[in-house]
Amino acid sequence: MGIIEIEHPPSFYPKLLCRKLMVKNRRISLGGKHTIKTRMMSSAIPLESFRWDLQKISATAANELLTFILADPGDALLIPTPYYPGFDRDLRWRTGVNIVPVHCDSSNDFDITAEALEAAYREAESKNIKVRGMLITNPSNPLGITIKRSTLEDILDFVTQKNIHLVSDEIFSGSAFSSEDFVSVAEIVEARNYEDSERGHIVYSLSKDLGLPGFRVGAIYSYNDKVVTTARRMSSFTLISSQTQHPLGSDALRQKLHRKLHKN
């Protein structure tokens, strides 16, 4: 796997990074065919010296890999409710990691409050369960709502205070009705010059935004070199097939996908 420095963000991730995020001094490490590496790195809106750590796998495998990396069996991740029921399978079955719900309700539009976060953390502590991280879906699965900027800032403050990690599953990021509705964790990190950026990890895939369930093409974006290196070493069984990579490398398909994303 080689190191590629690029000046444009991935065209398959436009709503997250192409609008206003200026990212500097990152690097990107990609597995797979060279054509995939280059085709995924184009955008109509260039960013200055955009570089990132990225490992291509499916979103399901990405979430499980991050759980393996960040937590030991018996540890826990905090997840706001309601959450995608598949997480009980994807994050727990093989890892031995627990899920501690952060209880949110309709009275405040399922906002993730500081009080709810603290209550979930204390619940885990009362059971002698060590919390290693928090996982959010933004936009939410199953609610379909986006997380407010102020809430994301509160979540970052919380994970910093508790010395844990944050995984933001943003596989629906290109499906927001208004581009202004969605704010990525990456935007908050960059805007605040977040000193503990290595706590933040983002998962993305092509399946939802392009309507390709089962296509199994995704990525882990992270500021943490150790996490990306470990994910690369553990991803031998989740690599993208050559048959899948080949059409993604074609000019015709890339242009069609690019038009579809910007049109929708």
In the chain the domains, ranked by start, together with CATH numbers, are: 3-258 (3.40.640.10)
3-class state of residue 171 by DSSP:
coil
Give the residue-averaged pLDDT of 69-75: 98
Task: Please answer whether residues 78 and 52 qualify as being in contact, where contact means their C-beta atoms are separated by less than 8 angstroms.
Answer: no
Q: Are strands 131-137 and 53-57 parallel, antiparallel or unpaired?
A: unpaired
Q: Which is more confidently placed, 41 or 228?
A: 228
pLDDT digits (tens, 9 = 90+) for 168-185: 999 888 777 665 678 999
Enumerate the β-bridge partners of residue 133.
Answer: 77, 165
Least confident of 14-23, 118-127, 202-211, 240-249: 14-23
Q: Name the catalytic one among 208, 209, 220, 221.
A: 208
Give the residue-averaged pLDDT of 157-161: 96
**Rounded Cα distance, 67 and 60, in Å:** 11
Q: Which is more confidently placed, 151 or 27?
A: 151
**221 among known catalytic residues:** no
3-class state of residue 146 by DSSP:
coil
Give the residue-averaged pLDDT of 163-167: 97
Q: Name the catalytic one among 4, 84, 148, 196.
A: 84
Q: Name the catalytic one among 6, 79, 171, 240.
A: 171
pTM metric for this prediction = 0.79
Task: Please answer whether residues 32 and 245 qualify as being in contact, where contact means their C-beta atoms are separated by less than 8 angstroms.
Answer: yes
**Rounded Cα distance, 106 and 131, in Å:** 26
Read off the pLDDT band of 51 (50, 70, 90). very low
Read off the pLDDT band of 260 (50, 70, 90). low
**84 among known catalytic residues:** yes
The confidence score (pLDDT) of residue 235 equals 77
Task: Please answer whether residues 7 and 215 qualify as being in contact, where contact means their C-beta atoms are separated by less than 8 angstroms.
Answer: no
Task: Please answer whether residues 73 and 87 qualify as being in contact, where contact means their C-beta atoms are separated by less than 8 angstroms.
Answer: no
pLDDT higher than threshold 70 for residue 262: no
The confidence score (pLDDT) of residue 15 equals 44
**171 among known catalytic residues:** yes
**208 among known catalytic residues:** yes
pLDDT higher than threshold 70 for residue 1: no
The confidence score (pLDDT) of residue 30 equals 43
pLDDT above 70: percentage of residues in the chain: 70
Average pLDDT of every residue of the chain: 77
Angle CA(225)–CA(51)–CA(12) in degrees, nearest 5?
105
pLDDT higher than threshold 60 for residue 45: no
Q: Name the catalytic one among 53, 75, 90, 169.
A: 169
Q: How many helices (H) and strands (E) does the chain have?
A: 10, 9
The confidence score (pLDDT) of residue 48 equals 34
pLDDT higher than threshold 50 for residue 25: no
DSSP state of 18: S
Give the residue-averaged pLDDT of 218-222: 83
Give the residue-averaged pLDDT of 142-164: 95
Give the residue-averaged pLDDT of 13-26: 40
With a CB cutoff of 8 Å and minimum separation 6, the contacts of 37 are 2, 4, 30
Backbone angles phi, psi at 18, to 5 degrees: -85, -10
Read off the pLDDT band of 232 (50, 70, 90). confident
